[in-house]
Amino acid sequence: MTDRQVALLAVMVWCGALVPMLVPFALLIALVVMAAISLRQRWPRRFLLVMVLLASALSGRAWAGVEPAEERRFEGPVVLAADPEPTSGGVRVTASIDGERYDLRAWGSPAGGLRHRLMGEQVMVEATLRPLNDAPTWLLAQGLSGRGTVTSVDGFDVGSPHTRLANSIRRTIESGASSMSRDEQALFAGLVYGDDRAQSPLTADNFDAAGLTHLLAVSGQNVAFVLAITGPVLRRLGHRQRFVFVLAVLVLFATVTRFEPSVVRASVMTAVASVAVLVGTEVSSGRVLAVAVSALVVIDPLIVHSVAFQLSVAASAGILLWSGRVARAVPGPRPLVEALAVTACAQLAVAPLLVWRFDGLPVASLPANLLAGPAAGPVMMWGLTGGLMAGLVPEWLAAWLHIPTRLALWWIDSVASQVPLLPLGRLGAVHIVLLFVLGAWGLRRIARLGRGATVVGLFVVLMHPAVVLATMPAETRVIDASSMIWRDDETTVLQVGGRSQPEDVLSTLRKANVGNIDLVIFERSSFANASLANWIRSHHRVTSVWAPTVTMGVGETVPDNNTRLLVDGVVLTIGVDDERLGVSAAIGDEPSAQE
């Protein structure tokens, strides 16, 4: 099969997996036999057709295998299928119970029993299990059968040998980073092995606004660095020994990074390339990507619903298809041009997905990636070498070993926090279409005048979101059911309810292009709101903070009962009691009780 036919195979298999078809097991076997015969006889058209049907049939069986749970009481061992994550004062974890996967939650002492466990470990629990009930497709695609609440945790086992080794590596690296601050440790864990559980909402918002979130989620780049680290060993091995060693390293690293879809994709690509080298066949990078995607979708059809897998495949395809042509078309120093081409092509390839599933692509992502990317690679490599060594030596020596790490982390964090302060806005669907059209036109063999016009057009498209953001009127915005940004040309009031997530508050403030905030009203005094107040102040000048009690230590005051404010034609009335500030809104033109 030609490279184009293999690429078409990947696309058709993907489409087949999106349309599940439940067929008898005998027909499924027949499709497998037909696919094998078509491939052996070199009938590409028949092979493509059969593979579409096979992917659809496998997807149907995969969905049928997700049996809905029955409400029941469970007592016994569960195997953790992921690392426990903090959530709403408790812990959330995916676990396997009797061969089925459940989304478990725990609070209080049971949460304490789960909090420090890791994937692959076996824990004795008591839990109440129940069905998912109208869960979204992306959640069902994880193979979950139901939810559960853990009421008791009693003992654990370290699990299988390879997960025990992977967990030992993670704990050793984590121990070696104990001299760092909490934020540095969280950022370090995200860069080295994709653990973002301890990241603060402020860090998450900064990296999202800078388009650097992919640095905190392990990717194919991490796999490349792992292979680079093992290079001295690989060069001393023969072809067969090298193949076995590479597979072992890939399996171990995939376990350390919790089988993130991007790592699995890169690992399978590496395995495909290794097989080609072993049998003495030369294959293009595009062919390797297509074969890897086809294989993964056939093995696990539900993976096509994973956003991380979609983004990983799109970014890889964009780099392979366009980066070389862009680098050749753009003049300038080769290292800078090549880095620019890879970053731009990867960002443009994932842009349609970001527009569709999220809020678009931040324009700041291009300069942010160019600035932070060169520092991220050394942190990843040093984390798996020097960072591992740091966990085996005294803490004072580990602190010295991590001096370069701290410098690199400071730079990456500075880029993530400062670049988004530039009011560049986010690219929407129309911008992405225009960039595709202008990019395709610019890569054609056109006259110098035409290329100049293309550059001007690209600049105008990229700057348009900044103009829109700068001319955005000051208006009231809803954050969620309990929080609002009350705003007009003179006054900005942020009302934060008790159930609001800090990520939502910070994100909405940024996207609304809010600068100074005259007043922040916290309906409740809490440690979480004290942290949120400090995070808000890191990017906004806050004049006053109101809360029901003076216990948070952020310069808050308690307003008089029934204080009234006039913002955007709405009168806000503040009711005060011992535990809560109540905010009621009514249309009116009464003057504020406090100027």
* Both structure tokens of 409: 């982390």
Query: What type of residue is 442?
Result: G
pLDDT at 187 over 70: yes
pLDDT at 592 over 60: no
Q: Tell me: the pLDDT tens digits for 120-165?
A: 899 999 999 988 877 777 677 777 888 899 999 888 888 888 888 9
Contact 105, 115 (CB under 8 A): no
Contact 219, 312 (CB under 8 A): yes
Q: Would you place residue 594 in the very low, low, confident or very high pLDDT band (cuts 50, 70, 90)? A: very low
Q: Would you place residue 530 in the very low, low, confident or very high pLDDT band (cuts 50, 70, 90)? A: very high
CA distance 224 to 269: 11
When mean pLDDT is compared across 264-273, 443-452, 529-538, the lowest value belongs to 443-452
Residue 448: the pLDDT is 66
Question: Once rounded to an integer, what is the mean pLDDT over residues 554-571?
Answer: 88
Residue 445 neighbours by CB under 8 Å, 6+ apart:
none
Question: Once rounded to an integer, what is the mean pLDDT over residues 560-564?
Answer: 88
pLDDT at 219 over 80: no
Q: Three-state SS for 256?
A: helix
CA distance 546 to 554: 10
Q: Would you place residue 445 in the very low, low, confident or very high pLDDT band (cuts 50, 70, 90)? A: low
Return contacts of 471-480, CB within 8 angstroms, 24+ apart.
Answer: 472/512, 472/513, 475/568, 476/567, 476/568, 476/570, 477/508, 477/512, 479/504, 479/505, 479/508, 480/504
Residue 27: the pLDDT is 86
- Using the structure block, give the residue that is written with the tokens 């709403």: 88
pLDDT at 418 over 50: yes
Q: Tell me: the pLDDT tens digits for 1-23?
A: 787 888 898 999 999 999 988 88
Q: Would you place residue 447 in the very low, low, confident or very high pLDDT band (cuts 50, 70, 90)? A: low
- Maximal CA-CA distance, the chain: 85
550-to-22, 67, 531, 557, 573 alpha-carbon distances in Å: 61, 51, 15, 6, 20
Residue 296: the pLDDT is 93
| Pairwise pLDDT comparison (220 vs 8), residue with the higher score | 8
Q: Would you place residue 588 in the very low, low, confident or very high pLDDT band (cuts 50, 70, 90)? A: low
Residue 446: the pLDDT is 62
Residue 388 neighbours by CB under 8 Å, 6+ apart:
169, 172, 173, 176
Alpha helices in 358-444 (DSSP H): 365-384, 386-390, 395-401, 403-418, 429-442
Q: Tell me: the pLDDT tens digits for 18-65?
A: 998 888 888 888 888 888 888 777 778 888 888 899 999 999 888 887
Contact 341, 101 (CB under 8 A): no
Q: Tell me: the pLDDT tens digits for 482-503?
A: 899 999 888 999 999 877 889 8
CB atoms < 10 A from the CB of 522, how many? 27
Q: Tell me: the pLDDT tens digits for 65-78?
A: 777 778 889 998 99
Q: Tell me: the pLDDT tens digits for 255-313?
A: 888 888 888 888 888 888 888 877 777 788 888 899 999 999 999 998 998 888 899 89
Residue 185: the pLDDT is 92
Contact 413, 197 (CB under 8 A): no
Give the count of alpha carbons within 13 A of 197, CB side only: 17
| pTM for the model | 0.86
CA distance 388 to 377: 16
| CA 117, 118, 124, 129 torsion-angle sign | positive
pLDDT at 433 over 50: yes
Mean pLDDT of the chain, nearest integer? 86
Q: Would you place residue 593 in the very low, low, confident or very high pLDDT band (cuts 50, 70, 90)? A: very low
| CA 441, 442, 446, 449 torsion-angle sign | positive
CA distance 541 to 221: 38
Residue 403: the pLDDT is 93
pLDDT at 423 over 70: yes
